[in-house]
């Protein structure tokens, strides 16, 4: 447990120092409504994500309002594609990611506006109608609003003010 806390603190500090991006590993996400709707591991991220009813949830506490750009890093079969929807607070955007010859893909989403400081939910959904989504490696958040932002994972403590955003089950 102590190792996880140090990992989360290190990731948050490095993101704040870099001010370039905040990379939130897939294994820190929650799965909703079925926590067994995909496999989650620290080594592989989220795998076997096939059920379109399963959503991947990340949470973050933002200390300031502003714009954030989001992307999701994936692994797919070489030259395959997947279509996803990312919702941040009450805004959502669709994106299609196409893998290169090595199977790496990035789903790029437009800018989202963080209206006010506080806890924000990031929700990733499949639009593939039963086809496998691919393996999710990380959510990457960039932009001025990430200054002093805190990534909240299932391995760290979630502030009470974030719990009221949604009901969730741990993966």
Residue 29: which CATH number? Answer: 2.60.120.260
- Domain for residue 155, yes or no? yes
Residue with more model confidence, 47 or 156: 47
For residue 168, being part of any structural domain is answered with no
Run of H or E including 6: helix 2-18
Question: In this structure, is residue 23 part of a structural domain?
Answer: yes
Is pLDDT at 69 greater than 50 in this prediction? yes
Q: Looking at the predicted structure, is the pLDDT value of residue 33 above 60?
A: yes
Return the closest-CA partner of residue 29 out of 139, 147, 110, 104: 139
- The pLDDT of residue 151: 65
Number of domains the chain contains = 1
Domain that holds residue 73: 2-163
* 108 part of a folded domain: yes
Q: CA-CA distances (angstroms) from residue 114 to 65, 74, 120, 169?
A: 5, 24, 8, 25
At 37, is the pLDDT very low, low, confident or very high (cuts 50, 70, 90)?
Answer: confident
Question: Is residue 16 predicted with pLDDT exceeding 70?
Answer: no
Question: 171 in a domain, yes or no?
Answer: no
In a domain, 49, yes or no: yes
pTM summary value: 0.78
* Residue whose pair of structure tokens reads 């990534």 in the numeric block: 151
35 lies in a domain?
Answer: yes
Model confidence pLDDT, tens digit, residues 104-127: 999 999 899 999 999 999 999 999
Specify if 170 maps to a domain: no
């Amino acid at each position: 447990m102590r190792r996880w806390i140090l990992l989360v603190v290190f990731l948050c500090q490095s993101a704040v120092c870099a001010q370039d991006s905040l990379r939130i590993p897939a294994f820190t996400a929650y799965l909703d409504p079925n926590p067994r709707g995909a496999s989650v591991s620290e080594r592989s991220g989220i795998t076997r994500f096939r059920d379109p009813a399963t959503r991947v949830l990340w949470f973050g506490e933002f200390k300031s309002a502003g714009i954030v750009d989001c992307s999701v890093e994936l692994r797919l079969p070489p030259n395959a594609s997947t279509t996803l929807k990312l919702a941040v607070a009450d805004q959502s955007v669709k994106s299609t990611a196409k893998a290169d010859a090595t199977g790496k893909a990035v789903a790029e989403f437009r800018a989202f506006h963080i209206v006010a400081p506080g806890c924000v939910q990031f929700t990733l959904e499949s639009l593939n109608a039963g086809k496998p989504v691919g393996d999710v490696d990380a959510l990457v958040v960039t932009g001025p609003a990430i200054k002093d932002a805190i990534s909240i994972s299932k391995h760290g403590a979630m502030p009470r003010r974030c719990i009221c955003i949604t009901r969730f089950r741990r993966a």
